[in-house]
Amino acid sequence: MTTEFNNRILLVDDNPAIHEDFRKILIGPSAKAAALEAVESILFESPASAATTQFALDSAHQGREALDKVTAALGAGRPYALAFVDVRMPPGWDGVETIARLWEVDPALQVVVCTAYSDYSWEKMTAKLGVNENLVILKKPFDNIEVVQLAHALTKKWHVTAQAQLQLAVLDRRVAERTRELEASNAELRRSEERFAKAFRASPIPFAIQSLHQQRFVDVNDAFVAMTGYSRGELMDRTPLELRICLDYEIRILSQVRDHKPVRDMEAQISTKSGELRSALVTVERLTIAGVPHLLVMVLDVTERQQLEGALRQAQKMEAIGQLAAGVAHDFNNLLTIIQGHASLQLGMPGRSEDLTGSLREISAASDRAADLTRQLLAFSRRQILRPRVLVLNTLVRDLTAMLGRLVGEQVALRCAFAEALPAVWADQTGVEQIILNLTLNARDAMPRGGRITIETGTTVFTPADAEKNPEIAPGQYVCLSVADTGTGMDAATRSRIFEPFFTTKAVDKGTGMGLATVYGITKQHDGWIDVATEVGRGSTFRVFLPVTQRLAEPVEPEFFIPEPTLREYTVLVVEDDEAVRSIVREVLVHHQYRVLEAEHAEAAYAVWHEQGGEIDLLLTDIVMPGANGLELAQQLLAERPQLKVIYTSGYSTELFASTQPLDEGRNYLPKPYLSAKLTTLVRAALEPAVAA
């Protein structure tokens, strides 16, 4: 719609004289018209529209003609501001019907109805046309001034109305734009809230929202529900204190949060619905929801992480203790080799007194007991000599039952429960027997007034998920050996140290503290692990897990034999970094008519080899030495003379040495400590295999 001043008027009347009269009144040089314009100028304070306005007057003699002109004017963008319509216009449409038709096309057209009231009453007219602010009645006969006044007033009104509508249109556009902006903003806010709600619900970290002043839960996510064990309904509008969840904030912490200072990683203990305590790091921040202050609580459950860290620290501690124990055992084995060698050498000499013979036997027996202790230390440190073969634990436990019954005594009831079709394990029989024996004796000692020991076997499969929770576990199928007692049980402090060597809660003369340490070492050396469940006053259960094997059973190797005298003089190169051990080995071999060359380490052995290599028949070398080890020395010498015989010796398990040369006890490997008979037997078997066989 145009906002320019509109002076266009349409006169609809079937009388040509009326048209002429209106033309004179509205556009003729009439003094009355000029005076009226002056009056209108004062009244409307618009000189441009009142004092100088010139109306454009169009004529229509019938209703249809008027409709065509109104339609054309609208199409040209120049609508009429006002129409004077006579009520009587025979034939065809009368004035009322004409007005109705005109308003269908141009509802903004202002109409002055020229009537004598004898044609239509106001009630009849409004009944047909409805009440309309654009409808004005001009009673016939009319006054010229009244016509001019209506023309000025209504065209001015049209102009003002057009401007108002334009402003309203602008305002409507602005309102619509602002409404769209608000709708977009609200939509984005709803999306943001939806994203937050989804993130809040789906977060794997437990979240909760509490009221600041009362600490009541107003919302929790699924992870918080899972952690606490309570349902959402049980948590809503309750405080942690009421539920005994233990999220009890100190006054200092709440004061800090009220000052908009977040609390980060506060250590806390979370009690679940079942009563389990979970370790957690709690972060608390203040936030405002609908103008009300709240607490956003994030609970990071670190229970499993702390358990893994504890297990790692325990494993590192045990590894460090194991290295120390292995070093002690290795050095002690060298000493025992000297003691046993000299004792056995002297026992083989003739002409001894009975007192000397008795003393030598006591020395030999004591060294045997000391050797047992070093074997326990090596077992703990996973460096003992193993002779693994295919074993079925059911058979092993059955064979030990009679002996175990005698060991535990009459006050203790011994019960065994065997799983059917138990798979085999690849294990050292002596080591596994030692595990069973030590666990049974430990259970007996935990029941000084008697009780019950239950030994069970079974199978368990551990998944990769289980391995993630416990670093000691490797996925796979395991045979489980369980030894349970009804004894005194242990507290947490004792439980954390039971596998340490020489740690014991028994009296000084009741135990060495090596029983469980030995069990631990043997189990770890078999790639297994131990689980302990214990509680003070409610007994203990030790479960040993050994991996299942698919190997087939092999025949048992024969024992050592007593050698006959050598057929000729052989030359043996002895390489040993311990001078005392080297000395006793030399004495034993010389006593059995062997020629002995000595070297304290690999470099010295190379020098001896270059001087007398053609005369050397056998290399007897310790594996662990400063510089190049015995395996590397043998490899270099064998490269020069492949027919050279080699015997390796060490106080460590062969499994610790990575070598392309197989190490087989009784053939080319002699574990420390050893008796002179074992040494000479192995040397004779290597140099004269046909005679030894």
Whether 396 and 343 share a structural domain:
no
Side-chain-facing half-sphere of 179: CA atoms under 13 Å: 6
Whether 401 and 346 share a structural domain:
no
Which domain covers residue 686, as residue numbers?
571-692
pLDDT score for 105: 92
pLDDT score for 185: 81
pLDDT score for 315: 63
In a domain, 185, yes or no: no
Nearest 5°: the CA angle 212, 217, 221 is 120
Q: What percent of the chain has pLDDT over 90?
A: 20
Token pair for 401: 């039952």
Give the H or E element holding residue 584: helix 579-591
In a domain, 133, yes or no: yes
pLDDT score for 51: 45
- What letter would DSSP give residue 558? P
Yes or no: say if 25 and 143 are a contact pair by the CB < 8 Å rule.
Answer: no
Whether 318 and 452 share a structural domain:
no
pLDDT score for 49: 46
Confidence of residue 621 (pLDDT cuts 50, 70, 90): very high
Mean pLDDT throughout 45-65?
72
In a domain, 306, yes or no: no
Side-chain-facing half-sphere of 453: CA atoms under 13 Å: 29
Among 271, 301, 331, the domain boundary falls at 301
Among 112, 144, 168, the domain boundary falls at 168
In a domain, 556, yes or no: no
Token pair for 189: 């806010």
pLDDT score for 208: 86
E strand segments, 213-262: 217-220
Give the pairing of strands 618-622 and 425-428: unpaired
Q: What is the mean pLDDT of the chain?
A: 80
Spell out a b/e string for 504-515, using b for 16 or more CB atoms within 10 Å of the CB, else e: beeeeeebeebb
Yes or no: say if 652 and 330 are a contact pair by the CB < 8 Å rule.
Answer: yes
Mean pLDDT throughout 362-382?
62
* Range with the poorest average pLDDT among 110-124, 479-493, 546-560, 604-618: 546-560
pLDDT at 422 > cutoff 50: yes
Confidence of residue 383 (pLDDT cuts 50, 70, 90): low
Question: Of 133, 107, 129, 111, nearest to 120 (Cα)?
Answer: 129
Whether 43 and 161 share a structural domain:
yes
Number of domains in the chain: 5
In a domain, 557, yes or no: no
d(CA 244, CA 246): 5
In a domain, 27, yes or no: yes
How confident is the model over 305-342, as pLDDT tens digits? Answer: 777 776 667 666 666 665 665 666 666 667 777 776 77
Among 301, 326, 356, the domain boundary falls at 301
In a domain, 555, yes or no: no
Whether 164 and 16 share a structural domain:
yes
Mean pLDDT throughout 146-173?
85
Confidence of residue 129 (pLDDT cuts 50, 70, 90): confident
How confident is the model over 28-51, as pLDDT tens digits? Answer: 765 354 445 545 554 544 444 444
Q: Which long-range contacts does 662-670 make (Cβ < 8 Å, 24+ apart)?
A: 665/385, 665/387, 666/557, 666/560
Whether 290 and 322 share a structural domain:
no
CA distances (Å), origin 290, targets 161, 195, 211, 257, 287: 45, 18, 12, 18, 10
How confident is the model over 248-301, as pLDDT tens digits? Answer: 666 567 777 777 777 787 787 888 888 888 888 888 888 888 788 888 888 888
Q: Does the reported pTM lie above 0.75?
A: no
Name, of 262-276, 429-443, 643-657, the range with top average pLDDT: 429-443
Confidence of residue 172 (pLDDT cuts 50, 70, 90): confident
- What letter would DSSP give residue 548? B
Whether 111 and 12 share a structural domain:
yes
CATH number at residue 286: 3.30.450.20
The C-alpha R_g of the chain, in whole angstroms, comes to 56
Whether 414 and 527 share a structural domain:
yes
pLDDT score for 259: 73
- The type of residue at 436 is I
d(CA 219, CA 233): 10
Token pair for 464: 């990769």
In a domain, 198, yes or no: no
Whether 396 and 485 share a structural domain:
yes
Whether 619 and 678 share a structural domain:
yes
pLDDT at 451 > cutoff 70: yes
Mean pLDDT throughout 188-200?
75
pLDDT score for 96: 87
Yes or no: say if 82 and 9 are a contact pair by the CB < 8 Å rule.
Answer: yes
Question: Of 429, 329, 331, 428, nearest to 381 (Cα)?
Answer: 329
Whether 653 and 681 share a structural domain:
yes
Mean pLDDT throughout 569-573?
90
Whether 417 and 535 share a structural domain:
yes
Helical residues (DSSP H) of 218-302, grouped into ranges: 222-228, 232-235, 240-243, 251-258
Confidence of residue 556 (pLDDT cuts 50, 70, 90): very low
